[in-house]
Amino acid sequence: MVACFSKQAQATELTSFARVKLVDAQGQPIKASALGSAEAYLFNYPYASTPSFLINLGKPAPDGNKLVASDGNEYAWRGGVGANKSVVAYTAICAHQLAYPTRDASLITYNPNTSEIAGRGGVITCCAHNSVYDPAQGARVLSGPAAGPLSAVALEYDVATDELYATGVYGGTLFDDFFKAYKTQLNAELGAGKARELVTAMAKVVPFAEYSKVRVQC
Residue range 91-101: mean pLDDT, rounded: 96
Residue 19's pLDDT band, with cuts at 50, 70 and 90, is very high
E runs forming strands in 12-159: 15-23, 41-44, 51-56, 66-68, 74-76, 87-91, 105-106, 108-111, 123-126, 131-134, 140-143, 152-158
Alpha-carbon distance values, 208 to 10, 55, 106, 147, 201 (Å)? 29, 10, 10, 25, 22
Residue range 67-73: mean pLDDT, rounded: 86
pLDDT (tens digit, 9 = 90+) per residue, 25-50? 999 999 999 999 999 999 999 999 99
Residue 71's pLDDT band, with cuts at 50, 70 and 90, is confident
Q: Which amino acid is at 34?
A: A
CA 206, 89, 51: angle at the middle one, nearest 5?
Answer: 55
Kindly tell me if the per-residue pLDDT of 2 is higher than 60.
no
pLDDT at 65: 84
pLDDT at 167: 97
The mean of the pLDDT values for the chain is 92
Domain ranges of the chain: 16-215
Residue 8's pLDDT band, with cuts at 50, 70 and 90, is very low
In this structure, how many other beta carbons lie within 10 angstroms of the beta carbon of residue 119?
11
Kindly tell me if the per-residue pLDDT of 74 is higher than 60.
yes
Q: In sequence order, what are the beta bridge partners of 68?
A: 74
At a CB cut-off of 8 Å and minimum separation 6, what does 180 contact?
Answer: 5
pLDDT at 11: 55
| Fold that domain 16-215 belongs to in CATH | Rieske Iron-sulfur Protein (2.102.10)
pLDDT (tens digit, 9 = 90+) per residue, 155-203? 999 999 999 999 999 998 899 999 999 999 999 999 998 999 999 999 9
Kindly tell me if the per-residue pLDDT of 89 is higher than 50.
yes
Residue 208 phi, psi dihedral angles, 5° rounding: -55, -35
